[in-house]
Amino acid sequence: MNKLLKDILLGITTALFFSAFIYFEHYGLTSKLINTLFGLTAIAMFLYTPKRSVLIAGFTIGLFWFYWIGYSFKYQGVGYMTPIVTIGFGFIYLLFFAPLAFTNNAIIRALLLFGLTYVEPFDWNWMQPELLFVNSYFGVYKYQFIIIVLALALPSKIKNPYTYLPLFLLIFAINYGYPKQNDAPLKIKLVQTDIKQEEKWKENNLYPTVRMLFKQIQKAINEGYDVIVLPESVFPLFMNKTPALIRNLKKFSQNIIIIAGSLLREDGKNYNVTYLFDHGSYKIAKKLVLVPFGEYIPLPKFAQKFINDTFFSGASDFVTAKKPTDFIIKGIKFRNAICYEATCQELYEGDVKYMIAMSNNAWFAPSIEPTLQKLLLEYYARKNGVTIYHSANYKGTGVIK
């Protein structure tokens, strides 16, 4: 086997070990033991494989983790961008891991790999190397990850018979428990809808969608729930421009608290929001952290308008709130989170014990996106001691602990 082919195979194998835990979860095959062993193997391969293999691994990981991002572009009328975006993410993560390819020193690579846990290309934070261990025997805190990478790197500098002695450091990376997570003392109904993205915004589907949602609300009332949580933008309209809909939701909220996603048009600006209806009145929570390239363009001002108008038909122009929103529901505080922001540390700052999150994952159907999102929600929920009540369109609904 020639050296180039060997390096390519080593790079792809590294990517397979680095990504396997996502696909095990997706197909219901998760094992803590296997995730632990595969995670350690993936890290070790990044520390010791040839430089060229590191670049191949980075490119392939970009595909394995994020091939689905381009799926959403067809709904913006630029479906031809899908393969370009997919390949683009391969090159982004080739560059992301490229610093490791500047050296063969395993300890320097270990420190660089740890440093990459703080890097978010284009504000996109779904590449979390610690995530490999979210369902393993190791913990996901930064100090545990640095212990793991150093324990695997130090043997390269220690001579026999003590070469593998640093592996005992892994004991200190074992997960000995996360902050306590409690169930909220309320009966909460989480609704998962299955509305295809290509059908969601068609005018002739609006009435059947609204009728279906009110049936879900009435069913939750009949079943004695305190709260019903519906997915992100489940009402596909600017709700503040539809007073009749608001009146009906106010009426139903006399019997159950209704939390639902929709849009808000205010002062010529668009907001992705959560509406909470409670005993005939309502509150609005605006999204704090927008999706890069989906809801805003993470580039200098001079490039934003051109890219938005050219590739997104002007759709990536949402505005954010200035701080997170908390809802008080029957005396219990819940942090509001809409899709991407539920996987951002900013939403967990302060006194947060419970979170209501909503998503529309139909943008990326069918794919592993809901699975990766679930793993990230588990990652943030566990290390912050937060219980997440997540309602999604397509897949992903459930209580995250």
- Is 282 exposed, middle or buried, given 0-12, 13-18 or 19+ CB atoms closer than 10 A? middle
Q: What is the largest distance, in Å, between two alpha-carbon atoms of the chain?
A: 78
- Looking at the DSSP bridge assignments, the partners of residue 336 are 356
Give the CA angle between residues 156, 160, 161 to the nearest 5°.
Answer: 130
3-state secondary structure of 35: helix
From start to end of 339-386, where are the E strands?
Answer: 354-360
Which amino acid would we find at residue 279?
Answer: H
Q: Is 232 one of the annotated active-site residues of the chain? A: yes
Among residues 287, 374, 383, 395, which one is catalytic?
287
Q: Is 344 one of the annotated active-site residues of the chain? A: no
Q: How far is CA 207 from the centre of its chain?
A: 31
Q: Is 287 one of the annotated active-site residues of the chain? A: yes
CA distance 127 to 117: 8
CA distance 246 to 277: 9
Residue 396: Cβ within 10 Å count: 24
Residue 24: Cβ within 10 Å count: 17
Among residues 25, 130, 189, 232, which one is catalytic?
232
Task: Count CA atoms within 13 Å of residue 295 on its CB side.
Answer: 21
Among residues 189, 200, 286, 339, which one is catalytic?
339
The set of catalytic residues is 232, 287, 339
